Structure 1
């Protein structure tokens, strides 16, 4: 306000000038805060979008790793079962041979 005297009574000092100056400062501070807040929110949401994209990539990698681990476990179980299957085959062959020998020995065959 260019004039420090009251508009209604020019002989008196303006009592609203100090309050108006305080309000102008508060408005300027609020506008600056709003600008800073918008910038912060924009940066935060950009960061959040990056995190969501990163998490999606990680989820995809974890899914692929789970599938590969499942395949590896299945293969390992198969490999571990092979000696048992071989042993069962050997036992079956021995039993068949013994039974065949006994049948031939007693003249059944």
Structure 2
């Protein structure tokens, strides 16, 4: 995540927001951004996906999506047992497990002069 963040920030037109695949990557990217003297969310917005406790303890508090890992585990176990007990070539069932947005202070509105 650190190297990817560096590459993105080194672009001729760097992004105004980076969304990371998980909160550990988000924290790694955050460190690169702050080491460069950039402010979050003043210079760049960042968000992640996991909702780990550490993301809520940093400053600024990070915006992330909390996953219901307990429900995901139960559902995965149920489907595994089902596939063992009733073997099929493919499982066609679609399962949606909603997450919860934890709004921190790491996402902000981009000013017009920043977006040029």
Considering the TM-score relative to the shorter chain, is it more than 0.5?
A: no
TM-score (structure 2 length as normaliser): 0.22
- Larger radius of gyration, structure 1 or 2? 1
Higher relative contact order structure (alpha carbons within 8 Å, sequence separation ≥ 6): 2
TM-score (structure 1 length as normaliser): 0.23
